Amino acid sequence: MEDYKKKFIEFMIDSEVLRFGDFVTKSGRKTPFFVNTGFYRTGSQLRQLGEYYARAIAGNFGTDFDVLFGPAYKGIPLTVAATMAISELYQADIRYCSNRKEVKDHGDKGILLGSPLKDGDRVVIIEDVTTAGTSIEETLPIIRAQGDIGVLGLVVSVDRMERGQGNKSALREMEEKYGFKTTAIVTMAEVVEHLYNRPYKGKIHIDENLKAAIDAYYEQYGAK
């Protein structure tokens, strides 16, 4: 596992974004882990988050593309943080773009904010955590309505590795449905690999009991 992935897992714990215990997801599933990206709240956290995304983007898509697109609302700060990090780490000047939930009819008009999209643009989409792919279904038509746009792929922070609409993960389902690559900074399998019976700051975050609960969860809800 790359070093930046290990550091990202620890960063999620430090930021209280990744937590372990007893939780219930929006879909009603009881889960022993929870990822709440709403806990990235400070400038320092966003700077670091942007760097982790930048490394994942460069590793999977390179930096020879034109626009990083973040669906509203959570994708807006992600596009800004990640494009700044790509500029600093790789000296690549990627434009950022996001959609609005409502079309603006005055001033900077339209459905988009940030850079306009134009024919020939190659776009990578950035999100926090995707479980059902709903925001992609909503934003892809917006992107493609702007012209002859090539969508290279999607990057999220954590692949929960759960079943989507069928037996495959939501990310794999999107790959098959839309024909572009999907990836994550880390998968939950990598989280378990890094933390299982390994202390971080003096604490074992995934012990035998929690590992058994995670295994049972994936036995029931895991993607095939």
List, in order, residues 6 or more apart from 148 with CB less than 8 Å away.
119, 120
Task: Single out the catalytic residue among 5, 6, 101, 104.
Answer: 104
Q: How far is CA 99 from CA 72, 93, 103, 106, 136, in A?
A: 6, 20, 9, 16, 12
Catalytic residue among 106, 109, 201, 224, which?
106
In whole angstroms, give the CA distance from residue 115 to residue 88. 19
Under 8 Å between Cβ of 120 and 92: no
| Residue 205 annotated to the active site | no
Reported as half-sphere exposure (CB side, CA atoms, 13 A), residue 220 has a value of 9
Active-site residue flag, 106 = yes
Measure the CA–CA gap between 36 and 107, rounded to whole angstroms: 34
Cite the active site residues: 104, 106
